[in-house]
Amino acid sequence: MSTPDSAVGTDEDRAARVALTGLAEPGHRTVWAMVQSYGAPATLERLLRGDCADARLRTSVMARRDGLDPRRFAETTMHRAERLGARIVVPSDDEWPARVESLALLELGVPGRVNHDVRPPLCIWTRGGLPLGETLDRSVAVVGARAATGYGIHVTSDLAQGLAEHGWTVVSGGAFGIDAAAHRATLTAGGRTVAVLACGVDRPYPAGNTALLEQIADVGLLISEWPPGAEPLRHRFLVRNRVIAAATAGTVVVEAAARSGAAQTMSRVLALGRAAMVVPGPVTSAMSVGCHELLRGHPDATLVTNVAHVLEAVGRIGEYLNPLERGPEHRRDSLDEESVLVLEAVPARGTITTEELASRAGLTVRTVLRRLSLLELAGLVVRRDGETALSRGSGAAP
């Protein structure tokens, strides 16, 4: 739905969007709908004078503005971002990631505000030199447990490196464990990676990943819906997850405990119709319980074990054609049915006459003689003095 406000894309529009993020958390259904109908500046005016049918929103706005001048907040925040080298991206900008607009239609049907307020961002703060939309255009999210196992780290690193080598951007949440492994492997491979934060882009979180996140800011992108200075409150990670799901072509969950944030992200991926990919783990691992439950409970979830599987799921039709994996080929694989019957009738040890072969294989002597000639040429049997034996190393014995 397009907004009728003539201020779209102007400094007034940007400032109003920033002010609105100070009054309501990102994804708020009513705020987003009002911006679509009236534009950001008019929506800000309406909320500040209490002109809103959503009583809960009215109460929240009144409470927040007691300690916050929204316009002053916007002005201060935008100056702070400028000093930081961060920029604000809004829907009218060329680099706006178009995929996030699919959140406009997301309906989860699950109780709770975090499942109700899942609308598109009003703006996205970005730190880094890459264009946001272009960087996310060919992107895959790789997410999972913070308490990752060695197995999970190994699989994640292989997947991220493979995606980077094929020109795909790897998106994750900047957390410990699987997220950090995905970012690091991508950087090592010289690829592009994006960390979607649940706090301001000037507040690397967790602190233990500060060096990693600063490296991402240098060569990739740090992005957030929350303005610089915003704290990483617990509920914000769940709000953030909908952007990871919507902005990418698909999401891979490598390890996830039961009732994990990664599993919650995948619920949004599935609801949006994106490629939902799950790496299986050891059945004895608590860190793979969530993965196995996703595979059991969602027919649309795809089991993946390597980067070829991921590329097949997210690539354009016919872009990545991979032959089916199969075991080693044997000389007997190309045999016709009658030759197989004859070969299987030859004892594992010792020799057998042609007449005995015919009886055991249920074929005529003439047919057996023809098939024996082919089997001998294939190096599967040897014939001497009218008797037949398996050749050494034929692999024909059961």
CA distances from 380 to 320, 349, 393 (A): 38, 14, 8
Whether residue 275 sits in one domain with residue 135: yes
CATH number of the CATH domain containing 361 = 1.10.10.10
Phi-psi region at 123: left, alpha or beta (left = phi > 0; alpha = psi -120 to 50): beta
Distance CA 230, CA 80 (A): 12
Query: Two tokens at 207?
Result: 């602190």
Select from 62, 79, 96 the last residue of a domain.
Answer: 79
Domain that includes residue 335, residue range: 331-390
Whether residue 196 sits in one domain with residue 116: yes
Per-residue pLDDT of the chain (398 residues; tens, 9 = 90+): 444 555 676 899 999 999 999 999 999 999 999 999 999 999 999 999 999 989 999 998 988 888 788 999 999 999 999 999 999 999 999 999 999 999 999 999 888 888 999 999 999 999 999 999 999 999 999 999 999 999 999 999 999 999 999 999 999 999 999 999 999 999 999 999 999 999 999 998 999 999 999 999 999 999 999 999 999 999 999 999 999 999 999 999 999 998 888 889 999 999 999 999 999 999 999 999 999 999 999 999 999 999 999 999 998 755 666 655 555 556 666 788 999 999 999 998 899 999 999 999 999 999 999 999 998 888 899 998 889 999 876 655 44
Distance CA 280, CA 103 (A): 28
Whether residue 15 sits in one domain with residue 155: no
Distance CA 341, CA 331 (A): 15
Whether residue 95 sits in one domain with residue 138: yes
Asked whether the beta carbons of 155 and 243 are under 8 A apart, the reply is no
Whether residue 263 sits in one domain with residue 206: yes
Whether residue 119 sits in one domain with residue 205: yes
Q: Which pLDDT score is estimated for 230? A: 94
Give the CA angle between residues 65, 84, 118 to the nearest 5°: 50
Whether residue 289 sits in one domain with residue 234: yes
Whether residue 335 sits in one domain with residue 207: no
Residue 326 in domain: no
Whether residue 336 sits in one domain with residue 270: no
Contacts of 35 (CB under 8 A, 6+ apart): 3, 17, 20, 43, 122
Residue 355 in domain: yes
Select from 314, 342, 369 the last residue of a domain.
Answer: 314
Asked whether the beta carbons of 77 and 125 are under 8 A apart, the reply is no
Select from 79, 97, 130 the last residue of a domain.
Answer: 79
Q: Which pLDDT score is estimated for 3? A: 47
Residue 398 in domain: no
Q: Which pLDDT score is estimated for 260? A: 86
CA distances from 22 to 6, 19, 122, 154 (A): 23, 5, 12, 40
Beta strands 139-143 and 250-253, pairing class: parallel
Asked whether the beta carbons of 196 and 174 are under 8 A apart, the reply is yes
Whether residue 105 sits in one domain with residue 52: no
Contacts of 244 (CB under 8 A, 6+ apart): 141, 143, 171, 172, 173, 196, 251, 265
Q: What is the pTM of this model?
A: 0.81
Whether residue 219 sits in one domain with residue 159: yes
Residue 322 in domain: no
| Alpha carbons within 13 A on the beta-carbon side of 335 | 23
CA distances from 39 to 34, 92, 124, 221 (A): 7, 12, 17, 28
CATH number of the CATH domain containing 189 = 3.40.50.450
The widest CA-to-CA distance across the chain, in whole angstroms, is 107
Whether residue 266 sits in one domain with residue 118: yes
Residue 320 in domain: no
- Is residue 233 helix, strand or coil? coil
Distance CA 145, CA 152 (A): 9
The residue type at 250: G
Residue 283 in domain: yes
Q: How many domains does the chain have?
A: 3
Residue 321 in domain: no
What are 381's strand-pairing partners? Answer: 390
Residue 396 in domain: no
DSSP string, 51-88: --S-HHHHHHHHHHHTT--HHHHHHHHHHHHHHHT-EE
Q: Which pLDDT score is estimated for 48? A: 93
Alpha helices per DSSP H over the chain: 11-23, 29-38, 40-48, 55-65, 70-84, 113-116, 132-137, 150-165, 178-188, 210-219, 234-247, 261-272, 289-297, 307-314, 337-345, 354-361, 365-377
